[in-house]
Amino acid sequence: MTDNNDKGKKKVFSLFVVGLLIVEEKNRVVVERFGKYLRTLKSGLRCIFFPGIVDRIKDEIFIEQETIPLFLEPIKIDFKDGSATPKNAIAYIEIDRPDTGYLTKEEEKLTDGEREKKGIEKRTGVFRATYHIRNRKEAIRDRLENAIRSYLNGLTIQEGIEMARGGYDLLGPNGISEDETDRLKGVFEDWGIILHAITIGDFDLELDLVRARGELHKRLKEKEAAVFLSEKRAIESGETVIEMMARTRGKKVDEIRQIINADEKLQERFLNEAVDFVKRQMGYDAKSRVDINVEGVDGLGKDVLSWLAAWLRMPMGEKGKEDKPLEPPEEPSEKEEKEEKKELSDKAKKAYAVFRAKTMENIHSSPRYKQQKMKRRKEGRKK
């Protein structure tokens, strides 16, 4: 699109009376006679009379879709949490109905008398782009930059960056408000222009903000790694518990899972106690307890023995009757509980020994333990 300040730049081969000019494909040339609109020339070899005296070229316009760069001068945008400078902001526009006369939505509401009084006729998009606005490109930039600033003021910097990298059209459903978009398109319609899209390539951040975001990104990665490690530990702990159950009952791991899955109430109890146990075990891990000493069945050993005692109280059915429906375990009386504790003491200690061996194996194979071990060796060498 040639702006209407560029008039007179079109090359005309003058023969004094008649001037010849070539209008390129997809272009239109607006010609005036004695300072008043005369006609619009389409592509091809065209002529005008007494060029520069009687007829003169007012404007030359590209009628197909084109891009207009925005924010030619770097401007900082105030987001909710800081400032950033937009890069590669572009508007996509096109001349609206370049060769067909039309009325805008607002002009259609007027009566014939009002249109005649205002001098409004059915004018083409090329006519409107030439005569309804001066400094066309500057006016487009001004309108769009103000709208973009208002929109970005309501975002965080991260939201703006995600929007830019996602290639979002600011006129889309997640962009500039619908009311503001309608206002913009209404103004541009009067100018004979269709506004197709607005995009931003990226944002330049201030150095301090870049450093802060880098630190935040690092912490988020560390948090994700910690969550992954926690989930891994939880799975390992759950598997250890089920293996311990299988050994104490003389069954296979799959059989234990089937027994638990056969009853919803049993599942709920198992999950609640398993989650509590896993949390406790991970709490011990967080304190870097490499060597676990259990005196008087205290600490982690107490958790294991309590959990195991609850499991052994669950009715498994007699041999050959595993398919019978399982009833929820009843709470034992104080006397029964003392007898069970005495009876199960040896079994529990054996089961705990198995569990402790598994736990120690997991701890000794963990990267953290290996790092600590290497660190102690290096310190010993220095001494």
Q: What's the gap between Cα 139 and its chain centre?
A: 33
Q: Which CATH superfamily is domain 66-113+120-205 in?
A: Band 7 domain (3.30.479.30)
d(CA 332, CA 312): 12
pLDDT-based confidence at residue 181 (cuts at 50, 70, 90): very high
What does the pLDDT read at residue 182? 92
User: E strands along 13-73, which residues?
Assistant: 13-14, 18-23, 27-33, 36-41, 44-49, 55-62, 66-69
Tell me what pLDDT residue 293 has: 39
Across 2-16, 46-60, 64-78, least confident range: 2-16
Q: 331-343 burial, b if ≥16 CB within 10 A, otherwise e?
A: eeeeeeeeeeeee
On the CB side of 248, how many CA atoms lie within 13 Å of its CA? 29
In the DSSP assignment, the letter for residue 186 is: H
Sign of the alpha-carbon torsion through 281, 287, 289, 293: negative
The pLDDT tens digits of the residues spanning 298-329 come to 444 455 555 555 555 554 443 334 444 444 44
Residue 290's pLDDT band (cuts 50, 70, 90): very low
Quick one: pLDDT at residue 65?
A: 94
CB distance 182 to 78 below 8 Å: no
Q: How many residues does the chain have?
A: 383
Residue 330's pLDDT is 55
Would you list the domain boundaries of the chain? Answer: 13-62, 66-113+120-205, 227-382
**What's the pLDDT at 307?**
57
Quick: pLDDT tens for 108-163: 888 888 888 877 878 999 999 999 998 999 999 999 999 999 999 999 888 888 88
Distance CA 12, CA 7 (A): 12
* pLDDT at residue 43 is higher than 90: yes
What pTM was estimated for this model as a whole?
A: 0.53
Report which listed range, 237-241, 311-315, 378-382, is most confident. Answer: 378-382
